[in-house]
């Protein structure tokens, strides 16, 4: 077996299962706020398209995807990020993928050059696929702590030039998982300048981009930053988007990558051998999803209502950054022990949350996830409110 497999860390939910294994919860209805799996209803039009095109399972799909799907994606991204019309060429700059998790992992394998130092910079805390993909590609993770005093964003200025020289790839996650932090346009521009100076690539994971609380302030993206700099070739830059969160379709496994044509072309060649073309039935359903914004607006409205309700319940007993986007809260726990908090909350209130240390690594001074938990507000409104009330009850009982 590949010896790099031994470098992989246990996945957060493996650790969570072990934490809960010896605990018997009370006879209350279980509520899970631990996993970021949307529970809102999928769009009816997408489900209808799956039925209408079910016969397409009899055909092999092409790696590049249907031209109609690439066109729909390019139109959506151009409108969403105010790109220069025609600059995002569906033939050269867009590639459908079977979910961002698979694509992120594959992109690292296709990108890293093992013959020279291969550091991959990533936010800390982080989505563990960044780390696992790096280790299996023979690279070394470079953890950039996301401290509250820096808006839960990495401090790019704190990275020495000597360190940047060994970096081949930088991951951005905006809106952030688990912090919900949004990377400002100026920060993207700074990162692009660093990439030009030190010759690395930027992979921006934007799968939560359509879940934002202020309807007048959608989060900016990496392609938008390129446009603001006049870089219509999107050089060094690639974005990852998904229908999982935007459209409540995590099981569809549908997303796209877009950006620098000089990255898309070899990545497409890699994927041809990798054998992960999107099924045609899924492609037709994805076209329907990317072409409709009404269900996305309704989705944001539902999350906005939950954030408002949960914030009122928990703000008196927990401290958390004001969320701007995503569907997560990232509160500090009373007492500071996130593992004990998660275990005892499950034991006393049958509510599952994810300890923050399971999503982060020890940084220069400490583990930036320790002492916090991730709450995924994915359940329906009533269940989410019930979970928040139980958490508050649990905290007040111990005060």
For 236: left if phi > 0, alpha if psi spans -120 to 50, otherwise beta; the answer is left
Q: Calculate the average pLDDT of the chain.
A: 97
Which pLDDT belongs to residue 322?
83
3-state secondary structure of 331: coil
Listed residue (304, 295, 392, 330) closest to 181, CA to CA = 330
What are residue 342's phi and psi, to 5 degrees? -65, -45
In the chain the domains, ranked by start, together with CATH numbers, are 3-41+295-397 (3.90.1150.10), 59-292 (3.40.640.10)
Residue 321 in this model has a pLDDT that exceeds 90: no
d(CA 159, CA 292): 41
pLDDT of 115 > 80? The answer is yes
Mean pLDDT of the 102-129 span: 97
On the question of pLDDT at 254 being above 80, the answer is: yes
- What is the sign, positive or negative, of the torsion defined by CA atoms of 115, 271, 223, 260? positive
Q: With CA atoms as reference, report the closest residue to 282 among 71, 94, 41, 52.
A: 52
Task: Name the pLDDT band for 6 (thresholds 50, 70, 90).
Answer: very high
Q: Tokens in use for 197?
A: 């100076």
What is the average pLDDT across 208-212?
98
- Put residue 89 in one of left, alpha, beta given phi > 0 → left and psi -120 to 50 → alpha: beta
Structure tokens that stand for 100 in this block: 């961002």
Q: Which pLDDT does position 386 carry in this prediction?
A: 98
Crossing angle between the packed helical segments 294-314 and 381-398, to the nearest 10 degrees: 20
pLDDT at 380: 94
CA distances from 181 to 18, 100, 215 (A): 29, 19, 16
């Amino acid at each position: 077996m590949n010896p790099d497999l031994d470098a992989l860390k246990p996945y957060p939910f493996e650790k969570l299962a072990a934490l809960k294994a010896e605990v018997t919860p009370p006879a209350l209805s279980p509520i899970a706020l631990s996993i970021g799996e949307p529970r809102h209803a999928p769009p009816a039009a997408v489900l209808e398209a799956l039925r209408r095109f079910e016969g397409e399972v009899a055909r092999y799909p092409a790696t590049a995807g249907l031209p109609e799907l690439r066109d729909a994606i390019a139109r959506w991204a151009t409108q969403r990020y105010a790109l220069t019309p025609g600059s995002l060429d569906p033939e050269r700059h867009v590639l459908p993928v079977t979910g961002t998790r698979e694509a992120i992992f594959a992109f690292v394998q296709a990108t890293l050059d093992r013959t020279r130092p291969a550091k991959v910079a990533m936010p800390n805390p982080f989505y563990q696929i960044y780390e696992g993909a790096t280790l299996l590609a023979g690279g070394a993770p470079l953890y950039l702590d996301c401290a509250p005093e820096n808006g839960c964003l990495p401090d790019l200025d704190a990275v020495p030039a000597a360190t940047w020289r060994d970096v081949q790839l930088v991951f951005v996650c905006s809106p952030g998982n688990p912090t919900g932090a949004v990377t400002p346009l100026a920060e993207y521009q700074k990162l692009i300048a660093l990439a030009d100076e030190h010759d690395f690539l930027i992979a921006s994971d934007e799968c939560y981009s359509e879940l934002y609380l202020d309807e007048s302030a959608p989060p900016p993206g990496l392609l938008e930053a390129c446009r603001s700099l006049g870089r219509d070739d999107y050089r060094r830059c690639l974005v990852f988007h998904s229908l999982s969160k935007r459209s409540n379709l995590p099981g569809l496994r549908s997303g796209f990558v877009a950006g620098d044509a000089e990255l898309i072309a070899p990545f497409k060649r890699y994927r041809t051998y990798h054998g992960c073309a999107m099924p045609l039935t899924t492609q037709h359903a994805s076209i329907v999803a990317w072409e409709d914004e009404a269900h996305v607006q309704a989705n944001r409205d539902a999350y906005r209502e939950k954030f408002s309700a949960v914030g009122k319940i928990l703000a008196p007993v927990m401290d958390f950054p004001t969320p701007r986007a995503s569907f997560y809260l990232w509160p500090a726990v009373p007492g500071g022990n996130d593992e004990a908090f998660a275990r005892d909350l499950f034991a006393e209130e049958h509510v599952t949350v994810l300890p923050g240390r399971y999503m982060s690594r020890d940084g220069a001074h400490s583990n930036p996830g320790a002492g916090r938990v991730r709450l995924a507000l994915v359940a329906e409104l009533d269940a989410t409110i019930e979970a928040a009330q139980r958490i508050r009850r649990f905290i007040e009982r111990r005060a």
